[in-house]
Amino acid sequence: MHPVYETDSSAYRPGMTWTRISRRILPCPPSALWPSLADFTRWPDWDPDLTGAELHGLAEAGTTGFLVPSGFRGRVHSRVAEPFTITCWVQDREIAIRQPIPFGAMDLALRLSAVDGGTEFVQEITLAGPMRAVMVAVIGGDVVKHFDVKCAKLVSLAAQAEHDA
C-alpha cells in the first residue's frame, strides 16, 4: 500500500478559521507510535517545529503544558504565551491540545487508526480568531509543511524502540 498524504485546503473559510488536515499511512502499528506521541517531552524528537515541551501533570484531558517552538518564535512564545490545555486524550488513539494565541486559539489533534499495512496518522490544525492569518505565517504553515518530516521521524523512533526491545 502506498503512503497517503493529503492536505485539505477546502477547509479554509475566510473570516472564520484556517484548518488543514494531513494524513499518511505509516508502516507500523499504533502501539509502536503511541509512546512518542503520549510523552510530550519527546515531541521535539519528532517535531522539527519544537525545541521543548513539558506537561504540568498526568496526561489527560484538562492538563496543561508548554511547548517551545523552534527559532526566534520560540524565544517570543516562551515570554508571552499561555500554557496549552489537553482537550482530548484517548489512550493509543488521539491527543488534542488547545494553545491560546492572541485573540484566538490553535487546536491541534493527532490521531492514530489501525489500517491494513500499518497506521493512519492524522494531524489536524485549526487556527481561529482575528490574528489567525498572522499565526498561519508564524507557525501554522510550518506545522503542515513539516508533516512528512514528522512522519519519517515517528517511524524511525518506532523502529528504534522495536530494535532496543
Q: pLDDT tens digits, residue range 14-71?
A: 557 878 899 999 999 999 999 999 999 999 999 998 889 999 999 999 999 998 887 7
**What ranges make up the beta strands (E) of the chain?**
6-7, 17-26, 50-55, 64-69, 84-90, 94-101, 104-115, 118-128
Q: Are 43 and 95 in contact (CB under 8 A)?
A: no
**Which superfamily, per CATH, for 6-164?**
START domain (3.30.530.20)
User: Average pLDDT, whole number, for the chain?
Assistant: 83
What is the C-alpha R_g of the chain? 15
Domain boundaries, the chain: 6-164
